[in-house]
Structure 1
Amino acid sequence: MNILSIGGSDPSSGAGIQSDIKTFSNHGVYGFTVVTAVTSQNTKNVASIEPVSTKSLMAQLDSILSDFHVDAIKIGMVYNSQIIKVIHSKLRKFKVPIIVDPIIKSTTNATLLKKNALHDYKKMIIPLADVITPNKYEAKVLSGISNIKKSAKKIQTMGAKCVIITGTTINNQISDFVLEKNKEYTISGKKIPITNHGSGCNYSASITVSLAKGNTIHSAVKTAKDYVYQSIKNSKKIGKGVNITHRDISNRMKELSYSINHFKQIKNIYKLIPECQTNFVFAKKNPKSIMDVLGISGRLVKSGKEVVTAGEIVYGGSQHVGTAVIQVNKKFPEIRSGLNIKY
């Protein structure tokens, strides 16, 4: 599975395309990048921004889109109208999930979208979005409205299919308001009071992966919130300013994720998915219970002639296949993985 990130380069790797590559890798997918601007920034400030030329941007997009299969696209920092127009012209007829993460200012308050580009952003970038993920500040800038629900509805009228406004704090909870086509809801989680660099990019990149895998928006948001919570919780103070988000994913989880993706790409594999659907597991050495076995919290589900992942990889994700692997492992310790298919 391949995902393209279009955005700015951050030499600190806290945000931008470098951060997205880390998130994609942690989710077991391959990441392409197209650079819109080269920033000079660290944990204290943004020293300079150099937008790429339209010729360079077009060449980068052509090089990726002409050679590779792309399962989803994330659009981050676009900076000016020239960049916006090129992206719009290249992607307006592209039929994969497009997730837009509005990048208007940095954590250190640097301007990352020119004010005179805002009109073109609303006209050309927002309509590309299957999902757009502004925080409260960005939503107000885009809509001109402070009220979260009214702001989301205004942004949706601009062409975005789904609007997710992040970062509403109530007591010790941080909530995301989700406005889909025919429903609205809020998903909340525990807040960690750490000023950080990168959480917004982590969030939108995680959602991009989930939607590329065929998961619902509700499931994608829940997964992204957990991923961001862990990345903030494990953030690192490696510079002299704010923390940089960080998330360690075990090699076992990465290996299972890669194996699942390869399995899904086998020709006509949908024909082998049974009525009860499929799970794919990988155990620790000498597993004692299903909590020692990684599996998919939902299933691998047949959808037409495709197989999609309904859920995330977690310990205890599979009761039946996980239990089977534990029993087999008792006699054959070298066997630690398994899946169920139609016979």
Structure 2
Amino acid sequence: MNQSETPLGPRHPVALTIAGSDPSGGAGMQADLKTLQAFGVYGSAVMTLLTVQNTQGVEAVEMLQMDFFQSQFDCVTSDIPPDAVKTGALGTAEMIATVAAALSPLKCPIVVDPVMISKHGHAIIDDGAVDALRTQLLPVASLVTPNRFEAERLAETSIESEDDLPVAASRLHDQGVPAVLIKAQFDNHAVDFLSLRSGQSGRPETQTWTTQWIDGGNLHGTGCVLSAAITAGLASQKDLVSAIERARRFVTAGIASPYRIGRGVSAIDVLEASKKTIRC
């Protein structure tokens, strides 16, 4: 019996992460894969860029060649088709265009985490790439998960208060993405604002989660973990709101349970977070 004839056992849900590598393990592709595993989802990965970093900072970023990215993507997805996809750090307009073209034929949910800057303040996207995110990647996305800063750049509008969130979300809807989750902090509370638009001109349905702000201190990777946790839910056939609510509980537990490693920023302990939110 050759490999193509090998009987397959029960299929686990599969999620593909398309992201950069964080060799310190707290963010990027490494954090995505840990999070997916915590939710019982098989994670596959296609790399877009390499970083030289540890818990104290990012020292360098090296983009992969487009043909190498495409070879990774084709090789992995032809053998392990994903039930959901998430994107993270993409770096350049050229990479974003390549990723968007690769994802366009897929029929599964696509979560875009529009990573623009590291926890240490190191830019991991160039100016031209912001426009490419807006015009090329958002139209193929099912959900985009920007923080306040990222939403302002993508929507080209200022967010000074909660009242500005629907305006920013509407502008992102106009780029073709049906679901927008903006993460923001105002004073001493955290706000996650979800906007869902089913048609081009339909009035969006919105939902807001407001919680007391938890000071995570020098913690990085929270955005990666949240978007990966949402992707895990979608890969497991959860509806979007349920996937977001579970992911929020997971991240909240993770912020309270950081790995204090190295001499710089901490990372979420996904195992401890899963004990509190998934396996209880």
Query: How many angstroms does 1:189 deviate by?
Result: 2.8
Q: 1:186 aligns with which of 200, 203, 208?
A: 208
Task: Give me the TM-score of the superposition, normalised by structure 1.
Answer: 0.71
Percentage of identical aligned residues: 32
Tell me the residue number matched to 1:225. 248
Task: Give me the TM-score of the superposition, normalised by structure 2.
Answer: 0.87
Q: 1:48 aligns with which of 50, 54, 60?
A: 60
Tell me the residue number matched to 1:177. 193
Q: 2:111 aligns with which of 99, 111, 118?
A: 99
Post-superposition Cα deviations, 1:289-324, rounded to whole Å, max 9, x if no partner, equal: xxxxx9xxxxxxxxxxxxxxxxx8554xxxxxxxxx
Give structure 1 stretches of 5+ with no counterpart: 254-293, 295-311, 316-343
Provide closer, same or farther for how the CA distance between residues 199 and 165 of structure 1 changes in structure 2, counting only shifts above 3 A: same
1:138 aligns with 2:150: yes
Query: How many angstroms does 1:239 deviate by?
Result: 1.6
Query: How many angstroms does 1:118 deviate by?
Result: 1.7
Post-superposition Cα deviations, 1:204-255, rounded to whole Å, max 9, x if no partner, equal: 000001112222222112111111111111112212112211122599x7xx
The one-letter code matched in structure 2 to 1:155 is L
Question: Where in structure 2 are the equivalents of 1:205-216 lying within 5 Å?
Answer: 205-216=228-239
Whether the aligned pair in 2 keeps the contact of 1:189 and 1:225 (CA below 8 Å) is no
Post-superposition Cα deviations, 1:7-32, rounded to whole Å, max 9, x if no partner, equal: 10000111000000000010011100
Q: Which runs of 4+ in 1 moved over 4 A?
A: none
Tell me the residue number matched to 2:258. 235
The one-letter code matched in structure 2 to 1:101 is D
Find the structure with the greater CA-based Rg. Answer: 1
Give structure 2 stretches of 5+ with no counterpart: 1-12, 159-163, 198-203
1:155 aligns with 2:155: no
Tell me the residue number matched to 2:161. none
Query: Partners in 2 of 1:57 and 1:212 — Cα distance?
Result: 23
Query: Partners in 2 of 1:107 and 1:6 — Cα distance?
Result: 19
Tell me the residue number matched to 2:8. none
Query: How many angstroms does 1:5 deviate by?
Result: 0.1
Q: What's the secondary structure of 1:187's corresponding residue?
A: strand
Query: Partners in 1 of 2:56 and 2:273 — Cα distance?
Result: 30
Ranked by relative contact order (alpha carbons within 8 Å, sequence separation 6 or more), the top structure is 2
Range with bigger deviation, 134-143 or 212-221:
212-221
The one-letter code matched in structure 2 to 1:194 is G
Whether the aligned pair in 2 keeps the contact of 1:26 and 1:249 (CA below 8 Å) is no
Query: Partners in 2 of 1:27 and 1:192 — Cα distance?
Result: 23
Q: What's the secondary structure of 1:65's corresponding residue?
A: helix
Q: How many residues are treated as equivalent by the alignment?
A: 256
